Amino acid sequence: MRIFIITQYEPFYIPKMIESILAKQGKYEVVGYTVLKPHRKNKNMFHWFKERQVLYTKWELFLVVFAYLFVKILTISNLTRKFSNLKIFSHYKIREFTTPDINSDEYLDTIKPLNPDYIVSISCPQLFQDKILELPKIACLNAHGTLLPRHRGVFGSWWTLFTDDIVGGSTIHTMELKLDAGYIVWQKTFEITKLDTQYSIALKTKRDMTSGLIEIFNSITDKTPSVIEPKYESSYHRAPTKKQGKDFHRKGKRVITIRDLFNIFFTKYE
């Protein structure tokens, strides 16, 4: 089974996923990867900060910035690879393919000779168009941090808390032109507790997605995995507004805590 991964620069969760997926290669092989900037084409880091400034308290924003700078220093100093997708891929000698546009003909012509069975999107910030969707032998797969079709769109972990869901989870589905559409091929749930935050839910969903992807990769078949019928109501969300951010905290919800920092720094996906 030949796997090609498209993801983004993100230091807290995705490197844990990549490390676990690469460490368990055997029945499957990761033949290449692309790591994109973490914002969409029409946005930059200023937009990222501005979006979160209206959703986070000052303390939460401080914790996120502190954590980001801390792991950045560790990575630049070469003290660890565990917070860098690039360093992890390099450690396992996986071939890198760079591009500003995953839908460009030039890019697709470079990865087509790899003959991937699956192209996997892990928080890819660009939308897949027709040509890339048709490239893999079996399917393009997306790992999404909610129980689709519930909470389609962005900020899935945040909306899971905001809407007072008692159950959270993650989904792996085939990809279509429509965002977060396609057939559900894997899904897992967990109970949400009073201690859960946006970041703790994200940690759990990424952990479960990792297990789900490895399970799919290890199934020796040239056919799309069995389809799971949707069990949850459909909803779609854009980025929360400033008012919703205030309502979130009035309800006693939290984005991140010191406990989450320890989990970010020390949790490893098995």
pLDDT digit string (tens) for 17-65?
A: 999 999 999 999 999 999 998 866 566 667 777 778 889 999 999 999 9
Cβ–Cβ under 8 Å, residues 150 and 173: no
Angle value at C-alpha 181, between 243 and 145, nearest 5 degrees: 55
* pLDDT over 70 percentage in the chain: 97
pTM: 0.93
Residue type, 11: P
Spatial CB neighbours of 33, under 8 Å, sequence gap ≥ 6 = 4, 5, 6, 7, 85, 89, 94, 95, 96, 97
pLDDT attached to residue 40: 60
In this prediction, residues 85-110 reach a mean pLDDT of: 98
Query: CATH number for the 2-266 domain, one of 3.40.50.170, 3.40.1380.20, 3.40.50.150, 1.20.1300.10?
Result: 3.40.50.170
Q: How far apart are CA 128 and CA 124, in angstroms?
A: 9
Cβ–Cβ under 8 Å, residues 113 and 149: no
Cβ–Cβ under 8 Å, residues 172 and 145: no
Instruction: Please provide the average confidence, as pLDDT, over all residues in the chain.
Output: 94
pLDDT attached to residue 54: 84
pLDDT attached to residue 45: 65
Q: Is 17 exposed, middle or buried (0-12, 13-18, 19+ CB in 10 A)?
A: buried
Q: How far apart are CA 82 and CA 5, in angstroms?
A: 17
In this prediction, residues 158-168 reach a mean pLDDT of: 98
Q: How far apart are CA 128 and CA 30, in angstroms?
A: 20
In this prediction, residues 159-166 reach a mean pLDDT of: 98
Q: Is 64 exposed, middle or buried (0-12, 13-18, 19+ CB in 10 A)?
A: buried
Q: How far apart are CA 23 and CA 29, in angstroms?
A: 10
pLDDT attached to residue 41: 57
Residues 175-217 have pLDDT tens digits of: 999 888 899 999 999 999 999 999 999 999 999 999 999 999 9
Residues 117-134 have pLDDT tens digits of: 999 999 999 999 999 999
The residue ranges of every structural domain in the chain are: 2-266
For the beta carbon of residue 106, count every other beta carbon within 10 angstroms: 8
Which is more confidently placed, 251 or 219? 251
pLDDT attached to residue 158: 97
CA atoms within 13 A on the CB side of 197: 15
pLDDT attached to residue 28: 96
Backbone phi and psi for residue 14, each to the nearest 5 degrees, phi listed first: -60, -40
Helix (H/G/I), strand (E/B), else coil: 159: helix
Spatial CB neighbours of 43, under 8 Å, sequence gap ≥ 6 = none
Whether 221 shows a pLDDT value over 80: the answer reads no
